[in-house]
Structure 1
Amino acid sequence: MKRAVIVQAKRTPIGKANGMLKNYEPHELAAPLLKYLAEGLEEKIDDVILGNVVGPGGNIARLSALEAGLPLSVPGLTLDRQCSAGLEAIRLASYLIQGGAGTCYIAGGTESASTSPFTKRARFSPDKIGDPDMGAAAENVAEKCSISKEAQDTYALLSYERSWKAFESGLLADELIPFGSHSHDEEFFKKRKMDTLLKRAKPIFKKDGTVTAANSCGIHDGAAAVLVMEEETAIKNGYKPILRFADSAVAGVHPNYPGFAPVPAIQSILERNYITIDDIDLIEINEAFASKITACANELSIPYEKLNVNGGALTVGHPYGASGAVLVTKLFYDVQRRRSCKYVLAAIGSGGGVGAAILFKAVC
């Protein structure tokens, strides 16, 4: 079987909805990434696979490839698995390489909440099952898993401090390519007194609830993508493999509890590969809500020391279709800094109750 490896990974700076990237459509956010990742390989790209969630519809991957000036022969595929879309794009590219369909793919996601033509979200589930908004669903997870506001706030503060430390030490700069005049994420324009904000924040989705604006992510714009290649082809073209695709899984849970969906996906990977959480050195789970992260960490016995070690979406942001690729981009650079990693994992939960996870072996 062919082996898929990730040899490059980048993202744009992430902006708040109606913030610094408000005038850019999804294909305009993705195009600079595609151009960067394809440099020198333009004629060898088999496909561009991008996740997108909030529009404007059409084949945004093809449009992005054309906007980037890639050869007309590069087709483009856009997919929607809600917040898992960017991770699913990488998963699909890896399996296409394993199956011999191609040797070189750009995969990731792009999202512009600012320019979305849709005034409300898509339906996640039939009403007869339950179709909660994600905030209400985060409350469901907190209640089901007995996650207190204090536990959520403790994690949110930890994530905030980690994000700022990573920014101030220059670690996040490795992940980025500048976008116009923007060279870092909008959330880092001004530091906040997060401990005070967390204490003051009131529940916003449920009376007497535990989920607040301070322990939830915001709505954002941005794009992220990776270059996935067949390993021998990558080496022949002068690339150094960093992450080798090892396995992946998707799983469904009740749509009322989408934040819990990473749990069965990760459990499936662990069981199939005869490993435990102890065998995984770094884990990235998307931080849509602190209730979700705390619930997943508790259920899977994940120590915070190896979970989202440089912060995540609670601070930097969650550009829906791109977030799964942001997780992989973080892992791509973290394993190169640590040099001692063997296995790393990225996972994300989505509206409708779908979880996706990818296990990588570090080869750098």
Structure 2
Amino acid sequence: MQNSLFINAAFSRPTERPPVWMMRQAGRFMKEYWEIKNKYTFLEMCKTPEIAADVTMLPVDLLGIDAAILFSDILVTAEAMGGELSFEQGVGPQFANPVRTMKDVEALEVPPAKESLKYVADAIKIIKERLAPHKTPLIGFAAAPFTVMSYLVEGKSSKDFKLTKLMLHNDPETAKALLSKLATITADYLNMQIEAGVDAIQIFDSWAQALAWDDYKEFSHFYIAEIISKLNRKDIPVISFCKGSSVFAPLMAEANPDVISIDWNIDLLDIKKRLPSNIAVQGNFDPHILYADKKVIKERILRLFERMRGENGFIFNLGHGIMPDLPFDNVKYAVEVIKEFRY
């Protein structure tokens, strides 16, 4: 994989064009995804290695993407610890046993990932076999501790994270005990993925944008830095993503990732210049542009590429994930435009 466009860009080496993959690229905007999803529950898809492999391969086969990302869910670590996880259509993930007290935190286990999350390693091995003819790298991932914590504390998705923030502010000892357990299992889980064969790692802090700077530093960044420091990352680029990265990127860089994934709220070249030269950037296309006419999509992609011309360490991605109602043809067209471009 050392000749991969994606791996080279992630390590800030020269590439002939920006590599492309897109967050949520194997998801609900594809009819082929729904053909699988309508037969199984979401957790069945995640926990059945052959099905997880089928879904992971969709954007490789249908879009010709430069990197695949493992099909799984950010909350599997919480479930492995004892969270009673379920998914309800139109509602999203829910935990029947939310974590609100120190006693609740103490009840959570930190089992070895090789035992509790073996189905993920099994899926990775199948996916790697299927990717071999394509010579396409596979990205493994996990959620950052704060994001998982927010689901455990709220018991479900939240718009204001009120209960989570109350714990941070009124009971920081309990919050840190929970975050520490989550950091331990997350590092173990990511190392298991690396051992199973992934070629890169991305850490998702999907709800970091909810935090003030000092709270992000204390309750999110600290634990991400701990996780990254424990990774067996030789030849494995580590990507750090959070909502709010256009604000937090300079701090994120202190955790020593290889790549920082940037949202669409900032000029990408500006933030790249403010980061250490050995840190690549990923992003930062507004996914809403993919609703637009194809001529607009092409113009905006080329505008971004011209802005980044001459910069090593640039991976094209979206500032966040693909929306479920995006026209598939528009996404495919965007990938074609990117793959035709040359510096």
TM-score after normalising by structure 1: 0.28
TM-score after normalising by structure 2: 0.29
More strand, by proportion: 1
More helix, by proportion: 2
Structure number with greater CO (CA < 8 Å, separation at least 6) is: 1
